[in-house]
Structure 1
Amino acid sequence: MSCGLILRLGLLTAFCGLAGCALWNRPTPSTLVMPTIASGNLVIIADFPLPEDEAARQQVESLRGDLAQTLQVPMEDVPIQVHLYRNESDYREVIAQRFPQLNGRRAVFVNDSSGTHIYAHWSDHVVTDLRHELTHAYLHANVGQIPLWLDEGLAEYFEVPPQPGRINPEHLPTLNGALQNGGWRPNLDRLSTLDRPEAMTRLDYAEAWLWTHYLLSGPQRGLITSKLAAESRHELVDPISLRIRHGNPNAEIAATQYLVAISQR
């Protein structure tokens, strides 16, 4: 991306303690190219001067600590290039050319031979999008391969900054509408068969969020934390869907009841 605003963001203690620090509050230089601030971690590449936004900065920089505390897995810093575009049309053109299988998504996470990359465009959803894709990046680097539904469910869970209830407002209407129409019920076995993000529908993402929220909000939280810890140590363990069913043979009924309960809060 030519003439981009480049911010190299490290996590040296003298600067800040969390990933993404100072994404939005650096003054805009006259040349559009910032010198290296510190080595490593996030490299933000934008085709426009990033606006100052303290709240957005804090919500992004808190993610790594949020992941580590909630999931009880150390989250080390990893080099990540974040490509931000002012115009959605420019972003979509890049995605269509480079990653056509991911075309149509608001933001994408890509890990290839050149490293870890996140692509997004500036919008009212940019903090949500960055938290979602950075969750994928941190999980991929610190945990490894996990089931697609859990990977996406965690990203949907953590894209919402910490708050009471931690409800993702996009998903409750989708799930309740599907439930009331009578044609859908949570189905962990079906969800576990999905192995490509492009094969997931909006309802699949919502259901992945529901299962993740249900597990993290109750006594079965340890099923997720122990699974991630084992994967980070490269240990062989039973599939998490099997462990969920061992803990509760009627897990789908419990998840449905949980959806009704949180919808009434």
Structure 2
Amino acid sequence: MTSGLILRFGLLAAFGATAGCALWNRTAPPPQSALVMPTIAAGNLIILADFPLPDDDAVRKDVESLRADLANNLQVPIEDVPIQVHLYQDADVYRQVVAQRFPQLTGRRAVFVNDASGAHVYAHWSDQVSTDLRHELTHAYLNANIGRLPLWLDEGLAEYFEVPPQPGRINPEHLPTLNGALQNGGWRPNLDRLATIDRPEAMTQLDYAESWLWIHYLMSGQQRGVITAKLAAESRQELVDPITLQIRHGNADAELAATQYLVAISRR
């Protein structure tokens, strides 16, 4: 690995990952000399890269827009928090680091970890780096500003916000997965089943896609308030009903509604 570089972007709001995962409250791993790099500039987002970062205004814009995107859509304050983003030029080097330090998360394009040393995002530079960084930094901002969320809700929000603001906000990876499962006849949305998954490594690609579907469905209509109220209550550490019950209070047959919603957005 070449000598590294830390860049701190002073005005950056955030960075996120498709099929990414999060770990909380881990014991801080021993320091690695390869990640001890000089600091230049200032800001809350600390990027540790093992290569000179290319000038990419599109990636920078996508990243800078994330914090405001979260605050505006979720209607909760999203404050700046220190986040270390570990970027690797070589995907194999990234995979080796993750396999060594977080073996249960191998196979993920990027990961978010919160340990005694703070919030960390690990990713490698690729054509999908903007998506990956927005996903994982969504985890980081939600964890820091709101706290621990049910896994499907946390991952669904990250899948939703990894796509920069645009009409429809469709995640192109998920529609084919969901429609294929629906047409094969062996799958239907099942919120109760999804809510039982409590380990990131237990989630399949279909689980990520279904989590995204629930968030997209809820954020698109009157039940958006279910999400915003849940997050506001969590940020105030208030005890409230599980969000699955709140969703069913708004629509007793939520699975049918989500299925119909999937069919509708697939035809657009």
So what's the TM-score if we normalise by structure 2? 0.90
Aligned to 1:37: 41
- The letter of the residue matching 1:5 is L
For the structure 1 residues 20 and 247, does the alpha-carbon distance in structure 2 shift closer, same or farther, using more than 3 Å as the test?
Answer: closer
Q: For residue 189 of structure 1, what is the aligned residue in structure 2?
A: 192
Matched ranges for 1:98-137 at <5 A:
98-137=101-140
Call closer, same or farther: CA 1:20–1:158 in 2, change over 3 Å: closer
Q: State the one-letter code of the partner of 2:50.
A: D
**CA-atom RMSD, angstroms?**
1.4
Deviation track 1:77-97 (CA, whole Å, cap 9, x = no partner) reads 011000000000000000000
Identify the residue that residue 266 of structure 2 maps to in structure 1. 263
Verify the 8 A CA contact 1:20 1:57 in the aligned structure 2.
Answer: no
Could you tell me whether the CA contact under 8 Å between 1:188 and 1:252 is conserved in 2?
yes
Q: Does 1:145 pair with 2:123?
A: no
- Shift in Å at residue 37 of structure 1? 1.3
The answer to whether the Cα contact below 8 Å between 1:109 and 1:116 also exists between their aligned partners in 2 is yes
Between the aligned residues of both structures, percent identity stands at: 78
Tell me, in whole angstroms, the C-alpha distance in 2 between the residues paired with 1:229 and 1:48. Answer: 40
Question: Do the aligned partners of residues 2 and 54 (structure 1) sit closer, same or farther apart at CA in structure 2, a change above 3 Å counting?
Answer: same
What is aligned with 2:7? 7
Alpha-carbon separation, structure 2, partners of 1:75 and 1:34: 28
* Structure 2 unaligned residues grouped into runs of 5+: 16-36
Q: Does 1:56 align with 2:50?
A: no
CA contact (8 A) 2:14 2:138 kept: no
Does the alignment pair 1:199 with 2:193? no
Residues 56-83 of structure 1: CA deviation (Å, up to 9, x unaligned): 1000110000000000011000110000
Please say if residues 64 and 75 of structure 1, whose CA atoms lie closer than 8 Å, have aligned partners that are also in contact: yes
Q: Is residue 14–residue 134 contact of structure 2 (8 Å, CA) maintained in 1?
A: no
Deviation readout 1:202-254 (Å, 9 max, x if unpaired): 00000000000000000000000000000000000000001101111100000
1:20-55 Cα offsets, whole Å, 9 max, x none, are 59xxxxxxxxxxx765312x4111000000000111
Q: Is the Cα–Cα contact under 8 Å of residues 9 and 20 in structure 1 kept in the other structure?
A: no
Q: Which amino acid aligns with 2:245?
A: L
What SS class does the counterpart of residue 186 from structure 1 fall into?
coil
Q: Deviations over 1:136-173 (max 9, x none)?
A: 00000000011100100000000000000000000000
* Count of residue correspondences: 247
Which stretches in structure 1 are left out of the alignment for 5+ residues?
11-15, 22-32
CA–CA separation in structure 1 for the residues paired with 2:90 and 2:238:
44
What's the counterpart of residue 158 of structure 2? 155
Whether contact under 8 Å (2:5, 2:52) holds in the other structure is: yes
State how far apart, in whole Å, the 2-side matches of 1:213 and 1:149 are.
13
For the 8 Å contact 1:41–1:80, the answer to whether it is kept is yes
Letter in 2 for 1:7: L
Would the aligned equivalents of 1:8 and 1:36 in 2 still touch at CA under 8 Å? yes
TM-score (norm 1): 0.91
Distance in 2 separating the partners of 1:263 and 1:9: 38
Q: Does 1:171 align with 2:165?
A: no
Answer yes or no: is the 8 Å Cα contact 2:14–2:67 preserved in 1.
Answer: no
Distance 1:52 1:67 in 2: 25
1:252 maps to which of 238, 252, 255? 255
Of 94, 97, 110, 1:94 maps to 97
Cα pair distance change 1:20/1:209, threshold 3 Å: closer
Distance in 2 (alpha carbons) for counterparts of 1:54 and 1:127: 11
